[in-house]
Chains A and B, each alone.
Chain A
């Protein structure tokens, strides 16, 4: 079996920052595995600004933030010090630090002395929050819709209602509007948004999009495709006030109700997440959104640099 000093799984900001910092701290045999065709992770679809104010002291878009890290990785000239393997989908991790991954036409098994998992997070879906009603086409998670528009170049709907007023929901309200769709409402069950004020102003108020606080979607109605949603106000205990119910016609519902760390591989190895970047198995680390869900890519990068250093120190100790 091929052996490596360090394997990093995931080529988003977390994986790239961890690999770079491990290198700077003396690790010279690093394999960085990314399932996509490109490095950058979720940043590639976050084409808006708001990244990098802390780390690069500039207001960058997501792709620009990723680009800065990609350039640093490419600048490392030492042969294979950081070997990037794209289209490499990790399917298994064991407690003996064996990583199994699929590459087009290949099945690889590599053992490393240390592993950093930087697999990001996934979106909570409609199935995880109870919304009664039909199950027609036209219901998307906000991040998936973002990928369809910004990467694939097609608009998943024309009349949109967004559930949840966190930053991703707000950003998508503007994105759909700019692309010519009508965002009919952003519906938030809490009494205020978790999102940045800047996003409330520039993504919702700028386009006169109605933002309903203390409201929820009571039902999604539609036969084949979404036809409308029923919206209802709730009181401070989140109980519905039935007399306030009203309908909004739409063909698309975006669900933007939070993220959860992607930790299946770590669980497969029998490890549990512990203090910052560490797991219950010495030498297996987890950083970025797979460690915990971060608001800012800047903080992901900062903490993931620590993970690279932690892995380098571990490798010196063993």
Chain B
């Protein structure tokens, strides 16, 4: 099925309005972009959108109730829900620093779940 989709490129603050021809979810042509990054953005965003997840996990026995975490890199947008459920079940019981790995190879997505702040005992 051939469709035209509109996207705003968010690679830089210019925010070019892209018009993308797609055929069964595959990008066929792009217009409206002012640079090559727009093309890459549109292709990624249409074919496999990726997002960084930032959320909090429960802390136990530490001076904070919640500890902010993130994925060390972007994960498929379609996996966000599953990822947040997994983060919700995670607990931190030992002091951490920013970048301490909480879960290695989080959900087999090739990224780690890492803390984003320090918390001492």
Contacts and interface: CB of A to CB of B under 8 A. Distances in A.
Interface in B19-60: 49, 51-56, 58
A150 interface: yes
Contacts of A153: 56, 58, 65-66
A150 B67 CA distance: 8
Given A49-B70, A153-B65, A44 B54 contact: no
Contact of B68 (A59, A61, A201, A202): A61
Contacts of A152: 65-66
Contacts of B53: 178
B92 interface: no
Contacts of A198: 10
A47 B84 contact: no
A206 B54 contact: no
Contacts, number: 66
B77 interface: yes
B15 A197 contact: yes
A37 interface: yes
Given A61-B54, A178-B84, A47 B68 contact: yes
A143 interface: no
A151 interface: yes
B103 interface: no
Nearest to B81: A178
B75 to A, nearest CB: 13
Interface stretch (A64-72, A255-263, A286-294): A64-72
Interface of B: 8, 10, 13, 15, 49, 51-56, 58, 63-66, 68, 70, 77, 80, 84, 97-98, 116-118
